[in-house]
Amino acid sequence: GAVVSQHPSRVICKSGTSVKIECRSLDFQATTMFWYRQFPKQSLMLMATSNEGSKATYEQGVEKDKFLINHASLTLSTLTVTSAHPEDSSFYICSARFQGSLNYGYTFGSGTRLTVV
Amino acid sequence: QQPVQSPQAVILREGEDAVINCSSSKALYSVHWYRQKHGEAPIFLMILLKGGEQKGHDKISASFNEKKQQSSLYLTASQLSYSGTYFCGTVSGSARQLTFGSGTQLTVLP
């Protein structure tokens, strides 16, 4: 249980274009999802917290107009990288917190490798 | 603020032991441990919810010293499959965001 599906797994786009990444919770409802970015050999850095039906909360230094987050339903959150530039090339991962009867935790999507050329 | 892990990297032979430390400047209410292989999502290892708690899974265990705001991960008789980057994580904020530590790259050689 508590599976999150993320698509696409890899995407290459041209500089200046936009890319949308989808994150779906398959067997549970996720009122909150988290988006992380990871550069090579670095830790996962939280970019934003996505809340179903309301605006996302962005971490300091993350441009909200560049990284558009939409969480229109309890099972889907999307991250759109607008006007992508080579420096946006990174590994993007979504996550959701789940609450079970015996435990709780965080489950992660498989990640999206974005390359901007 | 990001928890600090030490060491940054460790190389060991199959069968050897390793300890990874995680230290936070803020009060810790829980500590999560993950392992990540290159290009993949992090895999959950364990959560420690209370100070003094110790947990173990197979030959991987962890302890949580709430007063010192520290946690340690112990890998005993390491296997090749243990190679990867280990992250501790702390939870904060009203949305309970998970903040990852700086990471420790573990390499197990045959």
pLDDT tens string A59-110? 999 999 999 999 988 899 999 999 999 999 999 999 998 876 666 788 999 9
Residues 70-89 of A with CB under 8 A from B: none
Question: In angstroms, rounded to a whole number, what is the distance separating the alpha carbons of residues A23 and A70?
Answer: 10
Q: End-to-end alpha-carbon separation of chain A, Å?
A: 37
Q: CB distance B97–A43 less than 8 Å? A: no
The reported pLDDT for the residue numbered A102 is 60
pLDDT in tens, B8-45: 999 999 999 999 999 998 877 789 999 999 989 999 89
Contact assessment for residue A36 and residue A46, using Cβ atoms and an 8 Å cutoff? yes
Distance from the Cα of residue A84 to its chain's centroid = 15
Give me the residue from A43, A91, A111 closest to B87, CB to CB.
A43
Token pair of B92, please? 């904060």
B9-13 and B104-109: which strand pairing? parallel
Nearest chain B CA: its distance from A110 CA (Å): 5
Q: CB distance A49–B95 less than 8 Å? A: yes
pLDDT in tens, B77-91: 999 999 999 999 998
Quick check: bond before A8 cis, omega within 30?
Answer: yes
Percent of chain A with pLDDT over 90: 75
Contact of A45 with chain B, judged by CB distance below 8 Å, is answered with yes
Contact assessment for residue B10 and residue B107, using Cβ atoms and an 8 Å cutoff? yes
Contact of B44 with chain A, judged by CB distance below 8 Å, is answered with yes
B-chain CB neighbours of A42 within 8 Å are 103
The reported pLDDT for the residue numbered B28 is 78
Contact assessment for residue B95 and residue A51, using Cβ atoms and an 8 Å cutoff? yes
Q: CB distance A97–B2 less than 8 Å? A: no
Closest by CA to B21, choosing from B5, B33, B8, is B5
B-chain CB neighbours of A35 within 8 Å are none
Question: In angstroms, rounded to a whole number, what is the distance separating the alpha carbons of residues A95 and A109?
Answer: 6
B31-36 and B84-92: which strand pairing? antiparallel
Mean pLDDT computed over every residue of chain A: 92
Question: In angstroms, rounded to a whole number, what is the distance separating the alpha carbons of residues A71 and A33?
Answer: 8
Q: Tell me which amino acid residue B94 is.
A: S
Q: CB-based burial of residue B67 (10 Å sphere; 0-12 exposed, 13-18 middle, 19+ buried)?
A: exposed
Residue B9 pairs with which residues in a beta bridge? Answer: B105
